[in-house]
Amino acid sequence: MSPMVEKIEAEIKKLPASEQVELLERLESLVYGSDEEDSALIKTLRQRIADIESGRVKGIPVEETFEKINQELKAKYS
C-alpha cells in the first residue's frame, strides 16, 4: 500500500464504527454505483427481456451486430 493509503486507513480507524460504516457505504457507491443505479439497471434489463419475450421487440443476431460494428470501424479508420 502507498503511504497515503496507510495514512487514510489510520485516520479511518480513529472514527467511531458508525462513521466507518457510512464511509464504507460511500466508497462502495463510488466504486460500484449506488443501489438506486443498480435498481434502475435491473428494471431496464427486465423490461428489455420482457419486450423480447413478448415479441414487441425483435432482437438482432450478434453476428449481424458485430458485422455492423466492424464496417463502421473500417469506415472510420480507413
Shared domain check, 61 and 46 = yes
Q: How would you class 18 by CB atoms within 10 Å of its CB: exposed for 0-12, middle for 13-18, buried for 19 or more? A: exposed
pLDDT per residue over 44-64, tens digit each?
A: 999 999 999 999 999 999 999
CA distance readout (Å), 18 to 15, 21, 24, 59: 8, 5, 10, 48
The pLDDT of residue 28 = 85
Q: How confident is the model at residue 16 (pLDDT cuts 50, 70, 90)?
A: very high
How many domains are contained in the chain? Answer: 2
Whether residue 63 sits in one domain with residue 41: yes
What integer is the mean pLDDT of 9-31? 91
Q: 74 and 39 in one domain?
A: yes
pLDDT tens, residue by residue, 26-45: 898 888 877 777 788 889 99
- Residues 4 and 24 reside in one and the same domain: yes
